[in-house]
């Protein structure tokens, strides 16, 4: 009997370690994808679509066109986006290592929202500081509308996950991650944040405790 209990405990410990390793892998992969997409896509979004740091030409050979600076001027906003993703990734990994997976899961869902909120808020502020007030909403929605809709779905699913059963919470976390991926697909410039959010949300889904098996 004692040997059977010992084998069950070893199997349970192995399952916990495997689940924790999968959670860490999801977090790290998400950040690596953010890193890979951290230069050209967000710069194109900021420069060519939102026209941040650009001037509207009213004279010359191409009136009505935008004159934008070189890529160096976009290093700070791009690094800021990447920095938020790095901090979120680091905190999520630390919590995964220190806390039991069932306790870490709700916190991970909330941490995953930080990059999403930052990218949505950052692009709004950039548009607000660049465009006349009567054109801000229209122009921001033109660039970010579809992605913002998916990010809103990400937020809703992540919050709902905190109030439902563990199995339903895992499904909500997966749905939130899928929404973040869809947001990045509609606007590649936000992948620098959305990929990290998706990775952390997948980690939260994987962190669902196993279904208890009744014993006699």
Q: Where are the chain's structural domains?
A: 8-206
Strands 54-56 and 66-68: antiparallel
Nearest to 78 by CA among 190, 175, 156: 190
Q: How far apart are CA 188 and CA 127, in angstroms?
A: 17
Burial 84-105 (b: 16+ CB within 10 A, else e): bbbebbebbbebbeeeebeebb
153 phi and psi, to 5 degrees? -65, -40
Encoded tokens for 76: 């700070």
Q: What pLDDT, on the 0 to 100 scale, is given for residue 8?
A: 45
pTM value is 0.84
The C-alpha angle with vertex 125 and arms to 84 and 139, in degrees rounded to 5, equals: 120
- Residue 95 clears pLDDT 80, i.e. is over it: yes
pLDDT band at 60 (very low <50, low <70, confident <90, very high): low
Q: How confident is the model at residue 101 (pLDDT cuts 50, 70, 90)?
A: low
Distance CA 21, CA 136 (A): 44
How much of the chain exceeds pLDDT 70, in percent? 82
The dihedral over CA atoms of 77, 78, 81, 85, expressed in degrees to the nearest 10, equals -150
pLDDT (average), residues 41-70: 75
What does the longest C-alpha to C-alpha distance in the chain come to?
89
pLDDT digit string (tens) for 14-27?
Answer: 666 788 889 999 99
Q: Which residue in 95, 93, 104, 123 sits closest to 194, CA to CA?
A: 123
pLDDT over 90, % of the chain: 43
Nearest to 75 by CA among 45, 127, 38: 38
**Dist. CA 144–CA 178, nearest whole Å:** 18
Q: What is the pLDDT of residue 5?
A: 44
- Asked if 95 and 205 touch (Cβ cutoff 8 Å), the reply is no
Name the residue among 122, 164, 115, 160 with its Cα closest to residue 140: 122
pLDDT tens by residue, 102-151: 677 888 999 999 999 999 998 888 888 877 777 788 888 889 999 999 99
């Amino acid at each position: 009997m004692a040997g059977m209990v010992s084998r069950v405990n070893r199997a349970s410990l192995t399952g916990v370690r495997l689940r924790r390793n999968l959670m860490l892998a999801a977090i790290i992969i998400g950040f690596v994808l953010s890193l890979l997409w951290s230069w050209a896509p967000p710069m194109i979004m900021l420069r060519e679509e939102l026209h941040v740091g650009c001037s509207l030409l009213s004279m010359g050979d191409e009136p009505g066109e935008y004159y934008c600076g070189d890529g160096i001027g976009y290093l700070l906003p791009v690094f800021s986006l990447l920095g938020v993703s790095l901090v979120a990734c680091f905190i999520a990994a630390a919590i995964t290592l220190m806390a039991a997976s069932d306790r870490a899961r709700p916190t991970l869902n909330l941490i995953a929202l930080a990059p999403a909120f930052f990218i949505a808020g950052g692009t709004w502020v950039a548009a607000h500081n660049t465009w006349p007030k009567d054109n801000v909403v229209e122009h921001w929605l033109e660039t970010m509308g579809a992605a913002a809709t998916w990010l809103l779905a990400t937020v809703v699913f992540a919050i709902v996950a905190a109030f439902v059963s563990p199995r339903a919470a895992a499904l909500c976390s997966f749905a939130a991650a899928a929404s973040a991926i869809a947001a990045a697909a509609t606007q590649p410039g936000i992948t620098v944040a959305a990929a990290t959010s998706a990775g952390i949300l997948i980690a939260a889904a994987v962190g669902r405790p196993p279904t208890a098996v009744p014993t006699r």
